[in-house]
A and B are shown apart, each in its own frame.
Chain A
Amino acid sequence: MTDAVIEARGVSKSFGTTRALEGVDLVVERGTVLGLLGPNGAGKTTLVRILTTLLAPDAGTARVAGHDVVREAPRVRAAIGLAGQFAAVDDLLTGRENLELVGLLYHLPKAERKRRAGEVLERLGLTDAGDRLARTYSGGMRRRLDLGASLVGRPSVLILDEPTTGLDPATRVDLWGFIEDLVASGMTLLLTTQYLEEADRLANRIVVIDHGRTIAEGTASELKDQLGGDLLEVTVADPAALDRAVELVAGLAHGSPTVDRVKRLVSAPATGKAAAVVAAASRFQAEGIDLEEISLRRPSLDDVFLALTGHGAEDVAAGSGERTASAGGAPARRARRAS
């Protein structure tokens, strides 16, 4: 029997003439993590705002923790925890006071508020900093405190909107650890992200949205399988040989190659494992084309994203049509969310 904790059906929302969401369906089962993946402006935040009762949909319905987000909004609010894109932290309160304020607004008795604030600080490794004003916190600590605030109400459903955007790589990995602990304790989680790596690591299932529509859904490995096998990648030494390389790769692979002219890189889906590499290497050698690198690898979510949307996940953010980030590229180089 299915046990959907979040269930959206045909959710649409427009802002003026901009159609932010066009009939999105989404199901998150109890105790699982759904990664909602999409570039900036895909509609991720709009969907989160609808699911957290901050925005009413124009069409469609959504239920969270068994309650309709429009008709039973107060019940939904009582059941969820939300950490938005900003670290919504009061700078002029201490970490502990921030958490106790949230507890007060959940109408918890004083002893309970204090207990939970202490627990949350402990859980997020902020106990030592708990009595310092939040304005003295680093970016990572603020995000942790923000995540902590969403836990004070002991929600059964946690919704995190781009929880690590703008953090440095080390801090991001820390935060992932905290999120994984929460999931291990049985929490249902909806996580939006533009980092494929993050979805790959944290999510059981992934929904890819672009221009307000769901364009793919499945586990990370199901999505990767959609590309049809492994990726053969060839980097030529001489840019002049690039066109010939494309022809050669096209002959060896079973899908059409993509080209990155800056990196002199040709890639295409291929079957045959190592034999494909050997075959390709000997063809290039026979033609007298020098290779800088040749490899066969499992597609990353980046590749999936590129294939699905025709653009890389970060390209939209970076405002460039060219594919710039390589698979699993350094997150630090990735474009920060435009505010």
Chain B
Amino acid sequence: MTTIAGERVGAARVARGPLRRFRWGVSDTLTVVQRNLLAYLRIPEALFFSSVQPIMFVLLFRYVFGGAIHVPGVSYVNYLIPGIFVQTVAFGAVSTSIGLAEDLQKGLIERFRALPMARSAVLTGRTVADLARNVVVVLIITAVGYAVGFRIQTNVAAFVAGLLLLLLFAYALSWGFAVIGLSAPNSETAQVMSFPVLFPLTFASSAFVPVASMPSWLRGFAEHQPVSVVVDAARALMLGGPTASYVWQSVAWSVGIVVVLAPLAVRRYRRA
């Protein structure tokens, strides 16, 4: 018998040429997105409680701490909501690390890596699914924000631009948390590993209180770190004031984070 082992490759096709590779990359990503979003529908409790948490934050800062915080020139609820948006989507990005750590732990990543699918699809599929989830969360916060007195001070277009800006930032953060998720031994550890990064970024920022109220040693960090930049940009777009510089800075941060951390995540994935 002289058949060359490999003729049966016909059983599964191999991507030939850059165009087909790109098409498969997109279709594999959508497949993974669909699979990840389906998981949210299968445990509605998780979806419910992940939206409850940001609502609690809104209520906590609006009604518990809000009375004690005075921001000159603006009502606290208007000051707060853009900050809550950014804090919430940043927290949401942790789900990227938890989801990947879980897939890794269960051996699913191993399975995916041995399939003739696009290598990037597991990561892009995960980050895009988490972005979709963040879109839903942002809509919920918008509604809750309106219910507790938040009002757009500019116009709807600028408000939407602000949302897009902070969703872009969340998407970028997802790649960072992907690195954590792929480095963690299990999903619980991925979660606790994420918080030491997340807490200083979200709380030592302009999200909840003006940076000017912080001690000087903290102020330098708080003023220039990416969460503050994005919050300031979103605030400017939603409430008014000079926007250009903040907007460009936050786009630069988001792009920069992806450029640096996405290759790192891909490398981790390949070695997972």
Binding site for B on A (CB under 8 A): 1, 3-5, 30, 52-54, 65-67, 74-75, 77-80, 82, 84-93, 97, 101-102, 104-107, 133, 149, 153-156
Contact = CB atoms under 8 A, between A and B. Distances in A.
Contacts of B3: 3
B114 A154 contact: no
Given A74-B15, A88-B110, A156-B5, 11 more contacts: A52-B114, A66-B4, A75-B6, A84-B110, A88-B106, A90-B35, A90-B106, A93-B35, A105-B31, A107-B13, A133-B42
- A-B pairs with lowest CB-CB distance, top 4: A66-B6, A86-B107, A88-B107, A88-B111
A82 B6 contact: no
A101 B160 CA distance: 35
A66 to B, nearest CB: 3
A278 to B, nearest CB: 51
A53 B271 CA distance: 11
B147 interface: no
A106 B114 contact: no
Contacts of A84: 107, 110-111
B6 A67 contact: yes
Contacts of A149: 111
Contact of A77 (B4, B35, B42, B116): B116
A65 B31 contact: no
Interface residues of B, number: 35
Contact of A107 (B7, B24, B114): B24
Contacts of A4: 5
A54 B110 contact: yes
Contacts, number: 112
9 contacts: A65-B8, A66-B6, A78-B13, A85-B107, A86-B110, A88-B106, A89-B108, A106-B116, A156-B11
Contact of A105 (B6, B14, B112): B112
A155 B114 CA distance: 12
A1 B2 contact: yes
Contacts of B27: 107
Contacts of B4: 66
A79 B111 contact: no
Interface string B100-122: 00000011101111111100010
B150 to A, nearest CB: 35
Interface string B201-230: 000000000000000000000000000000
B38 A92 contact: yes
B28 interface: yes
Contacts of A106: 12, 115-117
A256 B141 CA distance: 79
B43 interface: yes
Contacts of A30: 1, 5
B44 to A, nearest CB: 11
B26 to A, nearest CB: 12
B9 interface: yes
B252 interface: no
Interface in B19-47: 24, 27-28, 31, 35, 38-39, 42-43
Given A54-B110, A149-B111, A75 B14 contact: yes
A52 B1 CA distance: 25
B11 A105 contact: no
Nearest to B21: A74
A213 to B, nearest CB: 25
A149 B120 CA distance: 21
A155 B11 contact: yes
